[in-house]
């Protein structure tokens, strides 16, 4: 043991003598052969260009990478702080699969990274891929959706969700390149590019400069599909279309908040069917409701590019019947309302946007339209509110949206039954710290709500009903309901009841920018103050680091197995479509 | 327990606000017309919002509106955002992009102490509508009160 320790110390001292430069793509990157990517070396000090030596598999890098990198003598950080020298080469392509070891030295700095450049099979396994993702999808959401929708008696579910018959295929590790924790930008980006990246980044490696648009780019699935195939592309989200998950299909930015620019990137890629919220970023700044800071009118730009516009459920149905092949459906200035608000309670912003379609209608219209392309399609469907309602600990809304997600999965499965050359993937991008621990039973004695929490045998079974057989509980405020709980959160009041007046707002910000419990719930009978256990700058429950369950069915699904890094999912998608091979003539 | 004592908080607030009535008294006593959050727009649509006739007719006049004060973007900002409900914004929203549609930006005539976010306030100032980018912060607003002041209610 002592010998091992001294050996470790010796290595550390040796390593300390040389500073490590950073190379992007990072060590252990997996790169689709033929896909363009940016190469960057960041030195920690200012170095002379003549001192920089870069080899790839022992050869001068220019010969292998096919391009000379631009030398930047001094990269600047905030307040013009000198960060060191850098080398950047954009749009490199490695056409041949294999292991590539990149050795970089300059002065006292050195770094060695190895990339795995992979190719796909010659022939596509699947004609179509439907990628269904519930943002933040955790096991508790699935269990709660099944019990709320189908009921349970004597320990057995009274019915099965659509997703219950899709084989679990892999556990997915969601961590970011800069942290074990993760967000919807870097997680969806890993799925859609095959490269892991930093929290808040999409389609790029996160470099050190403040500019969010100069980071080293990697190709995303929409660009790869356009480069190699004539397939159609569809994007559906109940969030703003510029939100991290839909954005990761098409965009490149270090900052997911660059929504106005992301909308421009969406236009550059021109997916054939685009359905969701976020019209505020389509409108020129002079239009009230716009969140742009320029005069670009993306509604007009898309229309001029041949898209049929739909702004509500009725117009979506009409657009579905047109033959333009391209539909832009924007149904809300911001995020669309939850299913519970939209279909049942009419709360949230439903009064302002009363005729929003749901995920099921959107999925149907998209499949009808995209399947007209004989070359096939890629469709991404996001149930965004599972996450958006898990953050504020509004479990009823999160679960009812999970039921809607399951119905969209049902639509996808019906399509695949008739079109067996379709690969269906059902997954989440990350998880939440949520669990079901039992029930809340209003009929238990006393007034203290805490004493009405049923655990173990006293939980009994919930008494949701579904008289009209629509798959949704007739009401969520039944007398004995599921009790879901987060393992983290801000200071808040636990009311033990569904929030029938609108989505839960557990905490609000004070003048010190700290989140404090929202007093609006303080006087709800039986409400209990729950002290927060995350920093006070946090407004809501946070993502969990737990693995995601990925399920898949159809041709190509055999590529998923065991534990997989989120970025490895892309390789299975690429292989299903044979994206290593040019399929356009 | 970090349970804040609401009594203490309220008392602190009262002390902070004790100076306010004096300030208000320097204005003419005539009652300014009031505007409510649900009267700002006549239409909420995907393709844009329409200012209500009431907003259009009151523009340029001193009005009052009740709402909640969102914490300032920057401590030294010349304005604050008045919202219909107390603000709770997402962790990634450092910009104006994720504010609700219906906010009113309040430019104060003179500095005032910020109040707790759950406290209803009434702001009084000259109403202005149309897109405006704050030159210091780049914050874009559609509705503003100029030369404003506020008091808790």
CATH of the domain at A63: 2.60.40.10
Residue A4 is assigned to a structural domain of this protein: no
**Cβ(A120)–Cβ(A581) below 8 Å:** yes
Q: Give CA–CA dist A260/A195, Å, rounded.
A: 24
> Nearest 10 degrees: CA dihedral of A299, A300, A301, A307?
70
Q: What angle do CA B98, A185, A580 make, to 5 degrees?
A: 140
Are A145 and A198 found together in one domain?
Answer: yes
| Residue A42 parent element (H or E) | strand A37-42
Q: What does the alpha-carbon distance between residue A210 and residue B68 come to, in Å, rounded to a whole number?
A: 34
Pairing mode of beta strands B120-133, A422-428: unpaired
- A520 CB-side CA count, 13 A: 19
For the beta carbon of residue A78, count every other beta carbon within 10 angstroms: 8
- What pLDDT score does B92 carry? 39
φ, ψ (nearest 5 deg) of residue A58: 85, -10
Tokens of A559: 């590529």
Give a yes or no: residue A513 inside a domain. yes
The string of pLDDT tens digits covering residues A24-59 is 999 999 999 999 999 999 999 999 999 999 999 999
CA A423 to chain CA centroid, nearest Å: 19
* Residue A6 in domain: no
Residue B1 confidence (pLDDT) above 70: no
- Tokens 């657009």, residue located: A319
What is the crossing angle of helices A395-418 and A359-370, to 10°? 20
Cβ-based contacts of B2 with chain A (< 8 Å): 491, 531-532
Domain ranges of chain B: 6-152
Question: Across residues B24-51, what is the average pLDDT?
Answer: 81
- pLDDT tens-digit series, residues B66-116: 999 887 766 666 788 898 888 765 433 444 446 777 889 999 988 887 777
The first and second tokens of residue A445, run together, are 């004695």
Sign, CA dihedral A341-A347-A349-A352, equals: positive
Q: How confident is the model at residue A325 (pLDDT cuts 50, 70, 90)?
A: confident
Question: Within a domain: residue A512?
Answer: yes
Cβ(A85)–Cβ(A47) below 8 Å:
yes
If phi > 0 it is left, if psi is from -120 to 50 it is alpha, else beta; for residue A502 that is left
Say how far apart CA A567 and CA A570 lie, in whole Å.
Answer: 6
Q: Let me know if residue A5 belongs to a domain.
A: no
Beta bridge partners of B137: none
Closest alpha carbon within chain A to B131: A286
Vertex B56 angle, CA B54 and B57, to 5°: 65
- Pick from B70, B114, B131: CB nearest A286: B131
Looking at chain A, the whole-number percentage of residues with pLDDT higher than 90 is 92
CA atoms of A550 and A428, how far apart (whole Å): 7
Binding-site residues on chain B for chain A (CB distance < 8 A):
1-4, 6, 41, 44-51, 70-72, 85-98, 100-101, 114-118, 131, 133, 138, 140, 142
Tens digits of per-residue pLDDT, A171-200?
999 999 999 999 999 999 999 999 999 999
Name every residue whose Cβ is closer than 8 Å to that of residue A304 and which is 6 or more positions away in sequence: none
| Cβ contact B146:B128 at 8 Å | yes
* pLDDT (0 to 100) of residue B23: 43
> Are A345 and A206 members of one domain?
yes
In which band, very low, low, confident or very high, does the pLDDT at A255 lie, cut at 50, 70 and 90? Answer: very high
Tell me, what's the pLDDT at B75?
63
Q: Which of A299, A512, A517 sits opposite B47 (nearest CB)?
A: A299
CA distances from B79 to A324, A340, B1, B136, B146 (A): 47, 36, 35, 11, 9
Looking at the structure, tell me whether residues A304 and A375 fall in a common domain.
Answer: yes
Answer yes or no: do A422 and A488 share one domain. Answer: no
CA–CA dist A389, A338 (Å, integer): 8
The pLDDT value recorded for residue A39 is 98
A25 and A165 share one domain = no
- For A346, other C-beta atoms within 10 Å of its C-beta total 12
Cβ distance of B88 and A515 shorter than 8 Å: yes
Report whether A20 contacts A107 (CB < 8 A): no
pLDDT computed for residue A147 by the predictor: 98
Model pLDDT, residue B76: 65
Q: Where are the strands (E) in chain B, listed by range?
A: 34-35, 41-45, 48-51, 62-69, 79-83, 104-108, 120-133, 140-152
Strand partners, A551: A168, A426
Assess whether pLDDT exceeds 80 at residue B118: no
Q: What is the pLDDT of residue A13?
A: 43
DSSP-based helix, strand, coil % in chain A, nearest 5? 30, 25, 45
**Chain A residue nearest residue B96, CA to CA:** A291
Q: How far is A283 from chain B (nearest CA, A)?
A: 7
| Interface with chain A: mutation pick from B3, B38, B83, B88, highest number of A CBs within 10 Å | B88
Q: What is the pLDDT of residue B30?
A: 63
Per the domain annotation, does A177 fall within a domain?
A: yes
Closest by CA to A515, choosing from A487, A554, A541, is A541
Residue A19 pLDDT grade (very low, low, confident, very high; cuts 50, 70, 90): confident
| Digit-coded pLDDT (tens) for A199-215 | 999 999 999 999 999 99
* Omega prior to A25 cis, within 30 of 0: yes
Mutation pick from A202, A276, A278, A289 vs chain B, by most beta carbons of B within 10 Å, is A289
Dihedral sign for Cα atoms in the order A272, A205, A125, A560: negative
**Helix (H) / strand (E) containing A110:** strand A109-118
Instruction: Among B51, B71, B93, select the one facing A511 at the smallest CB separation.
Output: B71
Residue of A nearest to B1 (CA): A531
CB contact under 8 A, B46 and A332: yes
CB atoms B72 and A511 under 8 Å:
yes
Q: Which residues of A touch B142 (CB under 8 A)?
A: 288-289
User: What's the CA dihedral at A342, A345, A346, A348 to 10 degrees?
Assistant: -80
d(CA A183, CA A396): 22
User: What's the pLDDT tens digit per position in A557-581?
Assistant: 999 999 999 999 999 999 999 999 9
Question: What is residue B74's predicted lDDT score, i.e. its pLDDT?
Answer: 67
Burial per residue of A281-308, b for 16 or more beta-carbon CB atoms within 10 angstroms, e otherwise? bbbbbebbbbbbeeebbbbebbeeeebb
Residues A311 and A410 in one domain: yes
Q: What share of chain B is helix, strand, coil (3-state, %, to 5)?
A: 20, 35, 45
Paired with A432 in beta bridges are A543
Give yes or no: residues A259 and A392 share one domain: yes
Distance from CA of A290 to the nearest CA of B (A): 7
- Nearest-CB residue to A330 (from B46, B100, B116): B46
CA distances from A448 to A358, A367, A443, A496, A521 (A): 38, 50, 11, 10, 15
Give pLDDT tens digits for A60-104: 999 999 999 999 999 999 999 999 999 999 999 999 999 999 999
Chain A residues in contact with B47 by the CB 8 A cut-off are 279, 283, 287, 299, 311
Q: What is the pLDDT of residues A371-430, one digit of tens each?
A: 999 999 999 999 999 999 999 999 999 999 999 999 999 999 999 999 999 999 999 999
Least trusted range by pLDDT, from A8-12, A35-39, A527-531: A8-12
A93 and A191 in one domain?
A: no
Which residues of chain B make contact with A349, given a CB cutoff of 8 A? Answer: 44
Number of domains chain A is built from: 3
The tokens for A345 are 């309670």
Report the 10 Å Cβ neighbour count for B43. 13
Give the domain extent around A261: 128-434+543-577
Distance CA(A361)–CA(A381), nearest Å, equals 12
Tokens of A558: 């055999």
Residues A429 and A449 in one domain: no
What pLDDT score was predicted for residue B136?
A: 83
CATH code of B6-152, in short, is 2.40.50.140
Alpha-carbon separation of residue A87 from A20, A30, A34, A94, A211 (angstroms) = 15, 21, 22, 18, 16
A150 and A87 together in one domain: no
**Best CA proximity match to A500, nearest among A484, A483, A521, A514:** A521
Q: Tell whether A520 and A566 lie within a shared domain.
A: no
Q: Which of A118, A147, A176 is the last residue of a domain?
A: A118
Establish if A7 belongs to a structural domain: no
Query: For residue A444, is it within any domain?
Result: yes
Is residue A248 domain-shared with residue A259, that is, in the same domain?
A: yes
Distance from C-alpha of B92 to C-alpha of B87, rounded to nearest angstrom: 14
Question: Could you give the C-alpha distances from A270 to A107, A238, A300, A326, in angstroms and in order?
Answer: 46, 19, 14, 9
Q: How far apart, in whole angstroms, are the C-alpha atoms of residue A138 and residue A430?
A: 8
Of B48, B72, B117, the CB nearest to A287: B48
């Amino acid at each position: 043991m002592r010998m091992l320790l001294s050996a470790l110390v010796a290595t550390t001292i040796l390593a300390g003598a040389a500073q490590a430069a950073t190379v992007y793509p990072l060590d252990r990157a997996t790169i689709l052969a033929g896909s363009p990517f940016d190469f960057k070396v960041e030195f920690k000090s200012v170095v002379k260009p003549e001192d920089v030596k870069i080899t790839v598999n022992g050869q001068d890098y220019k010969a292998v990478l096919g391009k000379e990198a631009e030398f930047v003598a001094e990269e600047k950080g905030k307040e013009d702080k000198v960060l060191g020298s850098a080398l950047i080469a954009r749009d490199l392509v490695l056409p041949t699969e294999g292991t590539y070891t990149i050795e970089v030295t300059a002065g006292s700095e050195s770094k060695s990274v190895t990339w795995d450049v992979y190719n796909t099979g010659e022939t596509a396994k699947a004609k179509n891929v439907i990628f269904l993702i519930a943002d933040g999808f955790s096991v508790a959401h699935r269990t709660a959706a099944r019990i709320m929708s189908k009921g349970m008696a004597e320990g057995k579910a009274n019915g099965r969700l659509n997703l219950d018959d899709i084989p679990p295929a892999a556990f997915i590790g969601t961590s970011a390149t800069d942290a074990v924790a993760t967000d919807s930008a870097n997680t969806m980006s890993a799925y859609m590019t095959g490269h892991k990246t930093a929290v808040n980044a999409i389609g790029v490696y996160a470099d050190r400069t403040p500019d969010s648009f100069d980071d080293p780019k990697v190709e995303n699935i929409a660009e790869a599909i356009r480069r190699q195939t004539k397939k159609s592309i569809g994007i559906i989200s109940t969030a703003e279309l510029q939100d991290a998950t839909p954005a990761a299909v098409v965009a490149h930015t270090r900052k997911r908040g660059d929504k106005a620019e992301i909308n421009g990137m969406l236009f550059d890629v021109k997916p054939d069917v685009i359905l969701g919220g976020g019209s505020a970023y389509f409108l020129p700044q002079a239009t009230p409701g716009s969140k742009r800071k320029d005069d670009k009118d993306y509604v007009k730009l898309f229309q001029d590019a041949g898209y049929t516009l739909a702004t509500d459920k009725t117009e979506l149905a009409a657009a579905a019947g047109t033959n333009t092949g391209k539909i832009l459906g924007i149904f809300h200035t911001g995020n669309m309302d939850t299913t519970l608000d939209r279909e049942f309670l009419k709360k949230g912003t439903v009064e302002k946007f009363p005729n929003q379609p749901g995920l099921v209608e959107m999925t149907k219209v998209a499949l009808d339209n995209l399947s007209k392309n004989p070359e096939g399609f890629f469709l991404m469907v996001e149930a965004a509110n599972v996450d958006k309602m898990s953050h504020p600990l509004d479990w009823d809304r999160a679960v009812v949206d999970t039921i809607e997600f399951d119905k969209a999965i049902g639509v996808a499965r019906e399509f695949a039954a008739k079109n067996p050359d379709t690969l269906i993937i059902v997954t989440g991008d990350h998880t939440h710290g949520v669990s079901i621990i039992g029930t809340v039973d209003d009929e238990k004695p006393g007034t203290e709500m805490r004493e009405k929490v049923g655990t173990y045998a006293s939980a009994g079974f919930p008494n949701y009903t579904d008289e009209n057989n629509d798959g949704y509980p007739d009401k969520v405020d039944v007398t004995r309901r599921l009790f879901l709980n987060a393992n983290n959160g801000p200071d808040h009041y636990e009311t033990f009841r569904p929030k029938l007046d609108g989505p839960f707002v557990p905490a609000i910000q004070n003048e010190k920018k700290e989140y404090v419990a929202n007093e609006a719930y303080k006087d709800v009978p039986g409400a209990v103050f729950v002290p927060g256990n995350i920093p006070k700058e946090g407004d809501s429950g946070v993502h969990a680091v737990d693995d995601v369950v990925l399920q898949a069915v159809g041709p190509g699904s055999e590529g998923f197995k065991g534990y997989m890094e989120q970025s490895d999912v892309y390789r299975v998608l690429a292989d299903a479509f044979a994206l290593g091979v040019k399929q356009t003539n | 327990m970090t349970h804040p004592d609401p009594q203490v908080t309220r008392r602190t607030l009262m002390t902070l606000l004790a100076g306010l009535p004096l300030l208000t008294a320097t204005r003419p006593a005539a009652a300014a017309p009031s505007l409510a959050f649900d009267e700002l727009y006549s239409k909420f649509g995907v393709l844009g919002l329409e200012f209500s006739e009431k907003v259009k007719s009151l523009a340029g006049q001193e009005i009052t509106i009740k709402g909640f004060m969102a914490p300032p973007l920057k401590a030294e900002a010349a304005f604050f955002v008045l919202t219909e409900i107390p603000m709770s914004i997402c962790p990634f929203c450092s910009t104006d992009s994720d504010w609700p549609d219906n906010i009113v930006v309040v430019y104060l005539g003179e500095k005032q102490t910020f109040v707790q976010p759950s406290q209803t306030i009434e702001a009084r100032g000259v109403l202005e509508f149309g897109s405006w980018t704050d030159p210091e912060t780049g914050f874009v607003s559609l509705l503003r009160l100029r030369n404003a002041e506020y008091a808790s209610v």
